[in-house]
Structure 1
Amino acid sequence: MLSSDGLMFGLINIVGNFGTVFVDQSYWQSAIAARPESAAKGYLLGGICWFSIPFSLATSLGLASTALMLPISSSEAGSGLVPPAVAVELLGNTGAALILIMLFMAIVSTGSAESIAVSSLVAYDIYREYINPEATGEQILFVSRVVIVVFGAFMGVFSIILYEIGLNLGWVYLFMGVVIGSAVFPLWNMMTWKKASGTGAVIAAWSGLALAVTGWLVAATIQSGEISIDALGTNEVMLSGNLIAILSSGFIHYVYSVFIDPQDYDFATLDASIKLVEDDRRGLTEAEKDPRVLEKAERWIVRRGYVLTLVLIVIWPLLSVPAGVFSKSYFAFWVLIAMCWGFGAAIIITVLPLSESSDDINMVLSGAVNAMLGKEPVRPAAAMAAAGKADDDATPEKEMVEEEE
């Protein structure tokens, strides 16, 4: 825990992942599409399960490669080849197949989310906002599909370019915070601080990026006397760029919002600014938009989020510092925690979706069986209850509209 390289990587990791969560449109879309209560619990539970990736999976495979003394070069490690090397050493071709399946699922899932996120930004925030304000749902869908194809091709070409110029996965991961870290505090302030300046947020984000890149280049020159891929990729240089990005933008936005352009934004007006497509009225119910429900969900996630952050980032590492170099028994306890965390996450992400979707799964299976037997499909109890509630909530005006349609 006293490793200087480990501490620097940890800080870089925190800045980069703050940027990922705040700047990545796919996270926003998931949060907006979910009910407030579900979003709060889902993100917290998802974060706890995700921690098994660096803790249980990466730690075990990384330490195993060292224990087995596998001939893995630094460039191969930077390209993310440690997990498959360990899997092949321990499990042979089966291990390679398992790693390939896991990697394929992760890349397809992430690539799909990013493609949808970018297409939504272009279709809604650029095409409908500035090019065709009266765009129909069909037109927006067409633009989204075009963007998905174009962006998918761009991702493939861009990854090949990065590979050819020698930027491996580890280098790009460390550099991520330099590019996107400057948007974290401006976005955070815009969501939670009514005096945050919109103009100041834009200025702070771009100014922070410029300062981060400048500091990153200067740090490489000071440390190595040159600007090269290797010089720019050291932990010290990357840490400088990451910290400048996130801290400078926060300072600039605070100064601009307090002393230059203070605002008094009313968050209650936010809903009125959201333009629906073709008067699509689906979404949250009035009960789910109740301020008391939203405040309860906010208190729930804020308290637990801060506690979990404090435990994982501060308390846990500090409690491990006195151990120094881990003894065999201490390390065995560490491994036990990692295994429990990994198996717990695996059980949650496997069982929970199945249990929550049990009604839908039963409906599909019963429908398939009844279709094979030539019987009428049986509607599940939840669907019948929802349909009955919808009938009870129907108004005469609504029934007249439905009859006319």
Structure 2
Amino acid sequence: MSNTIDTAKLALISQGSAYGLLIGLSVVFCGVILIALKVQKAYLSEDSGKSEMFMVANRSVGTGLTASAVFSSWMWINETVLAAAMCYRYGLALPLVLVGLWSLFSSCIDGSSGRDGKIRVPYAHTSLEVVRMRYGKIGHIIFIVLNLVNNVFGCASMIMTGSQLIYGVSGMHFVAATILIPLGVVLYTAVGGLKATFLTDFLHTAIALILIIYFTIAVLTNSAVGGLGGLYDKVVTTASENYISGNYEGSLLTFKSKGAIIWSLILKFGNLALVVMDTAFWQKSFATEVRATVPGYNIAAISVFGIPWGLGTVIGLTARAIQNTPIFPTYPGPLTSTEVNMGMVMPYVLKALLGDKAIIGFFFLLFMALTSTISSSMIAVSSILSYDLYKTYLNPKVTDKQLVRVSHLTVVIHGVFITGISIALNYGGANMTWIGYLRPIISCPGIIPLILTLFWSRQTRLAAIASPILGFLTGLAVWLATAQSMYGAININTTSNIYPALYAAIASFFTPGLYSVILSLYKPYKFDWREFLRIELADEAHLHAASDVCTLNETSDDENSRSHKDVSTSINAVPNGPDSALTRKSDLKPPGDEKTSTETWTSPRATPNLDDVQHPFDEQTLKELYRWLKIACIMFVAIVLVTFVAWPLPLYRDYIFTKSFFSGWTTVAIIWQFGAFGAVVIFPLYDGRHAIATGARGIWRSTKEFLDTKQRP
């Protein structure tokens, strides 16, 4: 690995402790999730051995758990550790800009998966299922490749980043760290499925936020920092040593930072791709109750401010303030660019101010952020390989039991594969900065074509297939050509500069939209949105034909779990059941014979006639959905106005923060962390209080019966 540091002198924790923490945390989480799954199955009638539960959690996840899971999924290691490193590099503008655009992008999720996913294809399992219905086999395969590349590359880059951090902190060989990081996740994800990731996401969120709040306050109140006033004074005192090129007067305390804006834009293109092109986020949307999707995502969007803003500001500026003092681990040497790129700013600050125990806490935070991302990716890739490939093309008559078995196998295969990719990236000399620049180029080309799949009826099959490929080639060409033109060579160093990466990200994101419009206008065509309801009819046909042919859900338990589909009731009539707001009209009649049933499943253009297709939602349900759509649009506008216009835009001027303004700025950031804890940790417990109480009562009864049995002679 070419981008290494000398851990012999700077190891912050022993290798033995690092191995013990990684293995121990994996074992503990496996045990916790296995117990939780047994409780779910025994007392809550939730069996992860069924495909519907494994892939979309029976579509019954409530608002609180949705918010916690989405928050956890956005709590990437790049967002937590890199926020401090980039604040160190560019100043305090970076952490807020980092999250301002992010909330906007989360609102895009509300608008696409929340609205169109629930209204147009309410019972889809993956976004790729929607693509297959509209564009056929070739389009389906193209987007399978795009989604797999995005998932595999995004997940592998997270593991690579984590292994480099563990290597830098402890000296553990990065290959060993790369293997151990996903090991425990593979075990509990393979057993528990999507609901397991929701449950572990909640645990990740709770533990990580406690650590984030603790680190922020403990560092700030440390005697070497001296609180808000002391940190401000130290940053001002060391200003001549910490001149930042591109910032107003080179200050760390200004919002006018060209580097921060450009770097954040690059990161946001990549993060948007990780959301829109990651089937895990679509699955979480499909898995939620109708009324939980929009509020759940909005709560997570607002709460996510608490991670980079407060933590990144305090840790990044503190590193600048104390890096030339004897307590800093690198003293008297400087903090090198390699160490910053590897994300070592945070562990160095924690070691300097809080000691070895804080490094153990950092390991916990690192593990929480990594495993949350990896588990979601594993379920996403598993669903693609098992549902979109195996079931669709290799074994259309697969039984539910077989499909779950294949899903388990693909989780293991994906775990092994991403481990290999991560090791290759490490040996190739990649770091989190370079990965952050490459990710938008390979992930962004499919964003606009996929969004247009749900929003624009005139995107043709040719446009959807060709535009992502052309967009990727355009972005790659811009990246390499700009690096060659500006710096005279093409290598990791030149392509790690911000301008080639920015131009390439813009090209990869926007040109597919241009290509799609041009190709669609070349041979106009208008898609009938009712075609998407054939996914629903196919599921219904298979359900009714279960006694005649092998179908996806052949067991009586699955029929019971889907029985809500045949009940024509209102939203309020079934307030607590799975998909309580999702009901069918009783006059929706699927084809009855075996041949027609099979054709309906396998062909997007099969019978029945579109004029006979009725929407599976009743009028009241649709009214409820459109109400949530209005709420999502209002939230979208509000977030844009706040995070772009009202808040940061006026600060982008020739202005350096005063002590009072800086104190208020950081205080609000810390308060936001506590608000986030209430929203995504406390509220989910309240929202799920009935299920928790049911499980607790079941455990108490079982324990009491067991003890009574033991006491009998």
TM-score normalised per structure 2: 0.51
C-alpha separation in 2, matches of 1:209 and 1:335? 40
Tell me the residue number matched to 2:356.
93
Matches within 5 A, 1:186-197: 186-197=449-460
Distance 1:371 1:348, change over 3 A: same
C-alpha distance in structure 2 between counterparts of 1:307 and 1:15, whole Å: 21
1:17 alignment partner, one of 252, 255, 271: 271
Aligned-residue offset at 1:204: 1.0
Aligned-pair distance for 1:167?
0.5
**1:253 CA drift (Å):** 1.1
Q: Contact 1:171–1:233 at 8 Å: present in 2 too?
A: yes
* TM superposition shift of 1:356: 1.3
CA deviation after TM superposition for structure 1 residue 323, in Å? 6.1
1:68 matched residue in structure 2 = 322
Counterpart CA distance in 1 for 2:358 and 2:512 is 44
Distance in structure 2 (CA, Å) of the matches to 1:248 and 1:307: 28
Between stretches 303-312 and 271-280, larger displacement belongs to 271-280
Please name the residue that 1:335 is paired with. 666
Residue 284 of structure 2 is matched in structure 1 by 30
* Deviation (angstroms), 1:248: 0.7
Q: Does 1:260 align with 2:522?
A: yes
Cα distance, 1:278 vs structure 2: 2.1
Letter of the aligned partner of 1:44 in structure 2? N
Per-residue deviation, 1:131: 0.9
Aligned counterpart in structure 1 of residue 343 of structure 2, from 62, 70, 80: 80
Of all paired residues, the percent bearing the same amino acid is: 27
Deviation at 1:372, TM superposition (A): 3.5
- In structure 2, what is the Cα distance between the partners aligned to 1:50 and 1:315? 19
Secondary structure of the structure 1 residue equivalent to 2:648 = helix
Partner of 2:636: 305
> Does 359-368 or 115-124 show the bigger shift?
359-368
Give the match for residue 286 of structure 1.
583
Q: Which has the higher contact order (CA 8 A, sep 6+)?
A: 2
Report the Cα distance in structure 1 between the residues aligned to 2:352 and 2:636, rounded to whole angstroms: 39
Range with greater deviation from structure 2 (107-116 or 358-367)? 358-367
Residue matched to 2:598:
none
Equivalent residue, structure 2, for 1:6: 260
Residues 256 and 654 in structure 2, CA contact (< 8 A), matched pair in contact too = no
Which of 395, 403, 406 is residue 132 of structure 1 equivalent to? 395
Give the direction of change, closer, same or farther, for the CA distance of 1:3–1:325 in structure 2 (3 Å limit). Answer: same
3-state DSSP class of the match of 1:265?
Answer: coil
Runs of 5+ in structure 2 lacking a partner?
1-254, 540-551, 563-577, 585-615, 707-713
2:373 paired residue among 110, 118, 123:
110
2:109 matched residue in structure 1 = none
Indicate if the aligned counterparts of 2:269 and 2:440 stay in contact, CA closer than 8 A.
yes
CA pair 135-369 structure 1, distance change in 2 beyond 3 A: closer
1:242-270 CA-partner distances (Å, limit 9, x unpaired): 0000111111112222x123332222331
1:356 corresponds to 2:687: yes
Is the CA contact (8 Å cut-off) linking 1:183 and 1:205 kept in structure 2?
yes
**In the alignment, which residue of structure 2 is the partner of 1:392?**
none
| Partner residue, 2:303 | 49
Look up the match of 2:494: 231
Task: Give the stretch that moved more between structures: 163-172 or 23-32.
Answer: 163-172
CA distance 1:114–1:184, shift in 2 (3 Å):
same
**Aligned residue type for 1:12:** I
What letter corresponds to residue 270 of structure 1 in structure 2? F
Provide the aligned C-alpha RMSD in A.
2.0
Instruction: Report the counterpart of residue 181 of structure 2 in structure 1.
Output: none
Out of 522, 531, 553, the residue aligned to residue 269 of structure 1 is 531
Task: Tell me which moved more, 245-254 or 302-311.
Answer: 302-311
Partner amino acid, structure 1, of 2:287: A
Equivalent pair of 1:44/1:305 in contact (CA under 8 Å): no
Q: Which amino acid aligns with 1:273?
A: I
CA distance in 2, matches of 1:80, 1:317: 26
Match of 1:382 in 2: none
List per-residue Cα deviations over 1:85-115 (Å, max 9, x = no partner): 2222221122111111111112111111101
SS in 1 for 2:652: helix
TM-score scaled by length of structure 1? 0.87
1:373 pairs with one of 662, 681, 704: 704
**Aligned residue for 2:145?**
none
Specify which structure has the higher proportion of helix. Answer: 1
- Alpha-carbon distance, 1:368 to partner: 2.7
Q: Give unpaired runs (5+ residues) of structure 1.
A: 376-405
**Structure 2 counterpart of 1:95, one-letter code:** A
Runs of 4+ in 1 over 6 A off after TM superposition: none
Contact 1:204 1:252 in 2 (8 A): yes
Distance 2:637 2:441 in 1: 25
Aligned partner of residue 51 in structure 1, secondary structure: helix
CA spacing shift, 1:116–1:296, aligned 2, 3 Å: same
What's the CA shift string for 1:311-357, capped at 9, x where partnerless?
A: 21343221212462212111111101211111211222220121112
State the secondary structure of the residue aligned to 1:230. Answer: helix
Q: Structure 2 counterpart of 1:94, which letter?
A: K
